């Protein structure tokens, strides 16, 4: 591995820029060195992040095209506007899913998958990032672009449940890790309001292992899986475990 390729672990709650800043603080010799990250991770996501320094920055495009390996948890019967925990709750459903029907739906994913970008993402439309359109309540004024998101392999690991109280505690813990303006107050208020109506409820959670091509959003995958199964679904957790040959030691 080149000395200008740095494999770091992005913690949940960090932005890639905050992770890069933490790297500089830990490695003073790179304080003034040009550094970029190859591939983003959502604020609540964690896992492997590749940082490039020096001349390696010029090769960023090569790293962006590498396949990724993720471990994700999909939470069913809930929809948020971000497709993960860091969003306003829009709907809570009642449908109970069978393990067999989930596995059957997973078989339909492949290399021909075309999905819209998450409304809360950094994709630029008409000169403005999608999340800015969303936060201004102006998504109806644009067509959300779609892109090819190739699933190379998807493995069903296990199915569990989480109670309303347990879910609320998890939301509070994860949202508290995020710095900056991500509507944290509104987000927590919406979760508390919706889950207060279902205090004894248990929600289904499925753990998946996903190998995919570059540019595949795990939040979009979770949302799409829910739609295929006739219910809401969001990414409860996202962990990137590898970028092709690169793995965190």
Domain ranges of the chain: 5-64, 68-247
**pTM score, whole prediction:** 0.94
What pLDDT was estimated at residue 2? 73
DSSP string, 16-51: HHHHHHHHHHH-GGGSSS-EEEES---TT-EEEEEE
Question: In this predicted model, what pLDDT tens digit does every residue of 137-146 receive, in sequence order?
Answer: 999 999 999 9
Task: Please give the angle made by the CA atoms of 70, 73 and 75, to the nearest 5 degrees.
Answer: 150
What pLDDT was estimated at residue 199? 78
Question: In this predicted model, what pLDDT tens digit does every residue of 14-27 receive, in sequence order?
Answer: 999 999 999 999 99
Percentage of the chain exceeding pLDDT 70? 99
Taking the C-alpha atoms of residue 125 and residue 132, their distance in angstroms, rounded to an integer, is: 10
Question: In this predicted model, what pLDDT tens digit does every residue of 163-203 receive, in sequence order?
Answer: 999 999 999 999 999 999 999 999 999 999 999 988 789 99
Q: What mean pLDDT is reported for the chain?
A: 94
What pLDDT was estimated at residue 198? 83
Q: Which token pair is 80?
A: 């948020």
What pLDDT was estimated at residue 1? 59
Q: In the structure, what pLDDT confidence band is assigned to residue 62 with cuts at 50, 70 and 90? A: very high
Question: In this predicted model, what pLDDT tens digit does every residue of 16-58 receive, in sequence order?
Answer: 999 999 999 999 999 999 999 998 899 999 999 999 999 999 9
- Which CATH entry fits the domain spanning 68-247: 3.30.2350.10, 3.40.50.300, 3.40.190.290, 3.40.50.261? 3.30.2350.10
């Amino acid at each position: 591995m080149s000395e200008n390729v740095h494999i770091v672990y992005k913690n949940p709650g960090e932005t890639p820029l905050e992770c890069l800043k933490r790297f500089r603080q830990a490695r003073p010799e790179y304080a003034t060195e040009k550094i970029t990250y190859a591939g983003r991770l959502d604020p609540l996501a964690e896992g492997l992040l590749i940082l490039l320094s020096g001349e390696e920055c010029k090769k960023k495009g090569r790293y962006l095209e590498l396949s990724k390996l993720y471990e994700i948890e999909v939470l069913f019967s809930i929809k948020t506007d971000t497709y993960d925990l860091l969003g306003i709750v829009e709907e809570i459903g009642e449908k109970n899913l069978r393990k067999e029907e989930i596995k059957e739906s997973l078989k339909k994913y492949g290399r021909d998958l075309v999905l819209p970008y998450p409304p809360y993402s950094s994709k630029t439309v008409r000169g403005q990032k999608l999340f800015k359109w969303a936060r201004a309540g102006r998504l109806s004024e644009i067509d959300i672009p779609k892109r090819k998101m190739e699933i190379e392999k998807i493995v069903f690991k296990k199915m569990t449940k989480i109670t309303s109280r347990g879910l609320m505690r998890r939301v509070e813990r994860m949202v508290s890790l995020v710095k900056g303006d991500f509507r944290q107050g509104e987000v927590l208020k919406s979760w508390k309001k919706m889950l207060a109506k279902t205090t004894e409820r248990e929600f289904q959670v499925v753990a998946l292992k996903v190998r995919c091509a570059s540019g595949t959003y795990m939040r979009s995958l979770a949302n799409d899986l829910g739609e295929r199964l006739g219910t809401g679904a969001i990414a409860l957790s996202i962990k990137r475990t590898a970028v092709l040959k690169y793995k965190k030691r």
